[in-house]
């Protein structure tokens, strides 16, 4: 089983729609969680951290469920510019450094 698993998609949604992605992780000792966004042929960029209480940034909401070991990302009122691949990232302490594991990403295509 992969340490971090994501549905690769693609998720094709119309503009204005709400879309949600989940990401599951296998190591219950994981400590920090993030969503990154990666545009085609570009570098990943931090979208948001995911906190235990859930957090929101504009149209984006991230949730963490430690009991079921998954994190989620909800995008409301989708824009064409949201089209990208969304990477789930999990971090845990591993003998002196933070081991960071990236998911393979979920591709979102927002359609006019």
Partner 1 sequence: DAGITQSPRHKVTETGTPVTLRCHQTENHRYMYWYRQDPGHGLRLIHYSYGVKDTDKGEVSDGYSVSRSKTEDFLLTLESATSSQTSVYFCAISESSQPRGTEQYFGPGTRLTVT
- By rule CB under 8 A, what string of x and - marks binding of each residue 47-66 to partner 1? --x-----------------
Contacts (CB under 8 A) with partner 1, residues 78-107: 87, 91, 93, 97-98, 100-105
What residues contact residue 47 under an 8 Å CB cut-off, 6+ apart?
Answer: 34, 35, 36, 37, 57, 60, 73, 86
- φ and ψ at residue 93, rounded to 5 degrees: -70, 135
Alpha carbons 74 and 63: distance in angstroms, whole number: 8
Alpha carbons 90 and 86: distance in angstroms, whole number: 13
* Three-state DSSP state, 29: coil
Among 40, 43, 53, 58, binds partner 1 (CB under 8 A): 43
- As measured in angstroms, the least distance from the Cβ of 90 to partner 1 is 10
Quick one: 45 or 59, whose CB is closer to partner 1?
Answer: 45
Binding positions for partner 1, rule: CB under 8 A: 4, 31-32, 34, 42-46, 49, 87, 91, 93, 97-98, 100-105
């Amino acid at each position: 089983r992969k340490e971090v698993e994501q549905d690769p998609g693609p998720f094709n949604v119309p503009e204005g729609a709400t879309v949600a992605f989940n990401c599951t992780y296998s190591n219950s000792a994981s400590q920090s969680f993030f969503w990154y966004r990666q545009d085609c042929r570009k570098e990943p960029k931090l979208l948001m951290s995911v906190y235990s209480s859930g957090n929101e940034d504009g149209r984006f909401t991230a949730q963490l469920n430690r009991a079921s070991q998954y994190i989620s990302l909800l995008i409301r009122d989708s824009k064409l510019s949201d089209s990208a691949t969304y990477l789930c990232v999990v971090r845990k302490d591993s003998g002196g450094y933070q081991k960071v594991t990236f998911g393979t990403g979920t591709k979102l295509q927002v359609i006019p």
